[in-house]
Amino acid sequence: MDIQEVVFLALDLTGTFVFAVSGVLLAARRGFDITGGLVLGLMTGIGGGMIRDVLLDRVPNALGQPIYLATPLLATLLIYLIGKHVSRARIWIVTFDALGLAIFSVTGTTIALGAGANYPAALLMGALTACGGGLMRDAVASEDPAIFRGTDIYLLPALFGSGLTILAEMVGLLNGGTSLIIAAAAFGFRMLAWKLQWRVPQPMRQWSYRDTGRRMKKLPSVFRKPD
């Protein structure tokens, strides 16, 4: 295994770990027990990558390399050892989620390109890897999925990271160093958008039934920054 492969594996495992941490933090915040936290961490950490690999007709990394299954377990043990210190976990959930999204936008796109996907398909696979685990996590935990809310920019940072990865590949500059730079840029985009409450355009007509949604009693999402 050369240095490029080592850097990529380390980056992908880091993405799996931080995404798993965001899932376990959400489980702890919602009062789930440790097994529930492990399930949510596994789902968040490896869910998007498994969907990507199935679509690309390749053995999922989580099944071909068992080390991918160890990172969610480590994240679960870490968070539940911290215990009471996760009571105010909202900012950490957002931060670790943004880290996972940024890293997976790069690694997911790189894996798709390596599997022979064309550029539009690689862009889609990168965004799917970045957003898939978080979408599954939020749906299972009864959160409003960030990707579906016009009040939260989530998909665009994933597409941004995936697009930059494709551009780097096109000009022959895609390597471990540029992958880290692209991931950092996507992370900065996501956190800045959350901090400044950037929003995508809202629908011009009331087809989204927003008034009905306001009347529904739901817990506030951890990803929505307070006014």
User: Worst-scoring range by mean pLDDT, 3-12, 85-94, 95-104, 169-178?
Assistant: 85-94
Query: What digits encode the pLDDT tens for the residues 100-158?
Result: 999 999 999 999 999 999 999 999 999 999 999 989 998 888 888 878 776 678 899 99
Please report which confidence band the pLDDT of residue 212 belongs to, taking 50, 70 and 90 as the band edges: very low
Please report which confidence band the pLDDT of residue 218 belongs to, taking 50, 70 and 90 as the band edges: low
Neighbour-count burial for 114-147, b at 16+ CB within 10 Å, e otherwise: ebebebebbbbbbbbbbbbbbbbbbebbebbbbb
DSSP the chain: --HHHHHHHHHHHHHHHHHHHHHHHHHHHTT--HHHHHHHHHHHHHHHHHHHHHHTTS--HHHH-THHHHHHHHHHHHHHHHGGGGTT-HHHHHHHHHHHHHHHHHHHHHHHHHTT--HHHHHHHHHHHHHHHHHHHHHHTT---GGG-TTS--HHHHHHHHHHHHHHHHTT--SHHHHHHHHHHHHHHHHHHHHHT--PPPPSSGGG-HHHHHHS--PPPTTSPP-
Q: Where are the domains of the chain?
A: 3-196
Q: Global pTM?
A: 0.84
Distances (CA, A) of 189 to 170, 198, 217: 22, 10, 31
The one-letter code for the residue type at 173 is L
Q: For position 117, what pLDDT does the model report?
A: 94
Q: Is the dihedral of CA 199, 201, 202, 208 positive or negative?
A: negative
User: Worst-scoring range by mean pLDDT, 36-40, 105-109, 182-186?
Assistant: 36-40
What is the overall mean pLDDT for the chain? 85
